[in-house]
Structure 1
Amino acid sequence: MKKLKYILIIFCFTLHYSCDSFLDVRPEGEVVNNELFKNAEGFEDAIYGVYSTLAGPSYYGRTMTYYFNDILSQYFFYDYPGDVTLKICNFEYKDATVRPTIDQIWGGVYKNISYVNNILENLEGRDESSLPLYNVYKAECLALRGFMHFDILRLFCENIVNNPSAQGIPYVDKYDLKVSPFLSAEAAYGRIIGDLKAAEEIMSENGEYFENADQQNNEFLKDRQIHMNLYAVQGMLARVYWMKGDLKTAAE
């Protein structure tokens, strides 16, 4: 009987310890996230990850540069029955062979926006004392967020010049699972411009023209011509104002 008591005590202790250990286990993604953003290298890797994804064939490495957009513009298609390019050219957006391309653009770009939001949220509470390039990271991410929302807006929404009350897109600025509501096109343009102007202000204050940055001994500041730098932000603002119909501000 005494032996049975000892066995039960050991069993209960083991069960209690095991349950506590199980409850202490943190989700894998959370651990990776905390580890990633513990230093400057992690933030830079995350930003490079956004650029790398956008350069893939599903985005600006093919589909959104010279494939889907060019077909919509009637630049080319393959004229044989059942070919997907012909269906895209005819704007058959609900066709089962066309839909995956559209869904990839919409869902994939918003996924990249979530990556940027994750970086921005992890920058909160930090400053130049812990991250010397804090302002560079923040400005690039704000600019990338505005840029990606703008491309979704121009691809999927009616031109605001033709219809000032046109429906816009969801503008996502939080890293969470909540569904963001659709905004009007006018409101979406306002949010895009807000992010780009905020990025422009930070970059201007910090002298972030890429030819000066190249002189600094920092790998992330080299080759600024292939980053979302100040020239890119100002060029993007000109495009946004032009698409919005504000030609005077676009020219400025």
Structure 2
Amino acid sequence: MKLKKLILYAFIPCTLGACTNWLDVAPDDQVNEETLFSKADGYRNALNGIYKNMAETQLYGKELLYGAVEILGHSYSSGYLALSDNALYNYNYTDKNAKSTIENIWSKAYTAIANCNSLIANAEEADPSIFSDNILEKNLILGEAYALRAFLHFDMLRLFAPSKKVDDQKTYIPYYDKKKSTYEPHLTVDQVLEKVKTDLLKAKDFVAAFDTLDTEHKYRLRTYQRIEGGSYNSLYTPEDLFYAYRGYRMNYYAIVGALARVYSWAGELENAYNAASEIINATSCFNFNSSSAFSSNRKLYEELVFVLSKKNTY
């Protein structure tokens, strides 16, 4: 099982804001939720908290990057694995270590999805005037939350359901798209894919209004601002860090890239080609290097579409 390498964990400090403030809020406490979402900073912190959770060990901080998925895909020789990883390597899913890893992935992903739903439900009702950029910022937050919800569901589908080529039309995973829902029916592969595509297309429209609005916003998607946070052109460097480092967020091209993955997995190859081409042809933002560049440019920043930050990942 092989994940598309659209995500790299950069070894730099988290620039996404005060994530820990949001994590201190008890999600089941209605009073705290109302307090959190009474101001624009609450929406920002809630969104940043989702990104922070996604970078933890159970998800893209290990298991869905170089951990469980690569063990399942036999990317490593079994002789180099810890004893606790042997069960996964041998597809012994009833082993206690394998079960623990799988349950942690599932639980962490659906917790992040639940937080996306809470953010979406509150943001949809929010008065645009509370945000610094009014409706533009409101829609940006909504778009990123929709995209993250789809992104996470898609990876759960890839892990816990058969591929399209061997789809048996049975039901496999639920798609949670309602706030505080405690039960959703398991759906077929096709049903989940349709919901993923719907969320991503909605997200694309919301985020496009911000990332492709004008020259200033388009400049923020270039490597020196998207990933490196530099001030190549100070005229286009936002003073508000929430609008900076778009590569660490579900930016417009990250959503297009996610659509390319979904279309490819679904067998919609023309749509996948068109989505991938949009990124490849965005030469002002991305430069796909030859392999020789790796020796002096280990992270290949010019190629990165969407990254997460985890400071203690080497």
Shorter chain as denominator, the TM-score bin is 0.7 to 0.9
What is the DSSP-based 3-state SS (H/G/I as helix, E as strand, rest coil) of the residue aligned with 2:66?
Answer: helix
Aligned to 1:15: none
Contact 2:85 2:97 in 1 (8 A): no
| Correspondence list, 1:70-109, <5 A | 70-79=70-79, 83-109=83-109
Gapped runs of 5+ residues in structure 1? 1-26
Aligned to 1:47: 47
Aligned to 1:20: none
Aligned to 2:119: 119
Q: 1-side partners of 2:218 and 2:95: how far apart?
A: 45
Shift of 1:28: 7.7
Shift of 1:64: 1.1
Comparing both structures, which one devotes a greater share of its residues to helix?
1
Q: 2-side partners of 1:164 and 1:246: how far apart?
A: 18
| Correspondence list, 1:168-247, <5 A | 168-208=172-212, 211-212=219-220, 215=236, 216-247=238-269
Contact 2:144 2:251 in 1 (8 A): yes
**Alpha carbons of structure 1 residues 223 and 80: separation in structure 2 relative to 1, 3 Å:** closer
- The structure with the largest alpha-carbon Rg is 1
**Alpha carbons of structure 1 residues 81 and 49: separation in structure 2 relative to 1, 3 Å:** closer
What is the DSSP-based 3-state SS (H/G/I as helix, E as strand, rest coil) of the residue aligned with 1:169?
Answer: strand
Shift of 1:63: 1.2
Cα-to-partner distance string for 1:36-75 (whole Å, 9 max, x where unaligned): 1111111111111111111111211111100101110111
Q: 1:130 aligned to 2:138?
A: no
Contact 2:78 2:86 in 1 (8 A): yes
Q: 1-side partners of 2:44 and 2:81: how far apart?
A: 47
**Alpha carbons of structure 1 residues 40 and 86: separation in structure 2 relative to 1, 3 Å:** same
**Alpha carbons of structure 1 residues 141 and 82: separation in structure 2 relative to 1, 3 Å:** closer
Contact 1:210 1:229 in 2 (8 A): no
1:153 to 145, 153, 157: 157
**Alpha carbons of structure 1 residues 212 and 106: separation in structure 2 relative to 1, 3 Å:** same
Aligned to 1:57: 57
Contact 2:204 2:252 in 1 (8 A): yes
Aligned to 2:5: none
Aligned to 2:282: none
Q: Residue 259 of structure 2 aligns to which amino acid in structure 1? A: L
Q: 2-side partners of 1:150 and 1:81: how far apart?
A: 28
Q: Residue 249 of structure 1 aligns to which amino acid in structure 2? A: N
Q: How many residues align?
A: 226
**Alpha carbons of structure 1 residues 85 and 34: separation in structure 2 relative to 1, 3 Å:** same
What is the DSSP-based 3-state SS (H/G/I as helix, E as strand, rest coil) of the residue aligned with 1:117?
Answer: helix
Shift of 1:32: 1.5
Cα-to-partner distance string for 1:110-133 (whole Å, 9 max, x where unaligned): 011001111111112224323221
Aligned to 1:66: 66
Which structure is richer in relative contact order (CA contacts within 8 A, separation 6 or more)?
A: 2
**Alpha carbons of structure 1 residues 141 and 80: separation in structure 2 relative to 1, 3 Å:** closer
Contact 1:79 1:86 in 2 (8 A): no
Q: Residue 44 of structure 1 aligns to which amino acid in structure 2? A: R
Contact 1:158 1:167 in 2 (8 A): no
Aligned to 2:6: none
Gapped runs of 5+ residues in structure 2? 1-26, 226-235, 275-314
The more displaced of 44-53 and 198-207 is: 198-207
Q: Residue 182 of structure 2 aligns to which amino acid in structure 1? A: K
Contact 1:211 1:224 in 2 (8 A): no
Contact 1:157 1:166 in 2 (8 A): no
* TM, length-normalised to structure 1: 0.83
* TM, length-normalised to structure 2: 0.67
The more displaced of 169-178 and 114-123 is: 169-178
Give the aligned CA root-mean-square deviation in angstroms: 2.2
Percent identity between matched residues is: 30
Shift of 1:158: 0.3
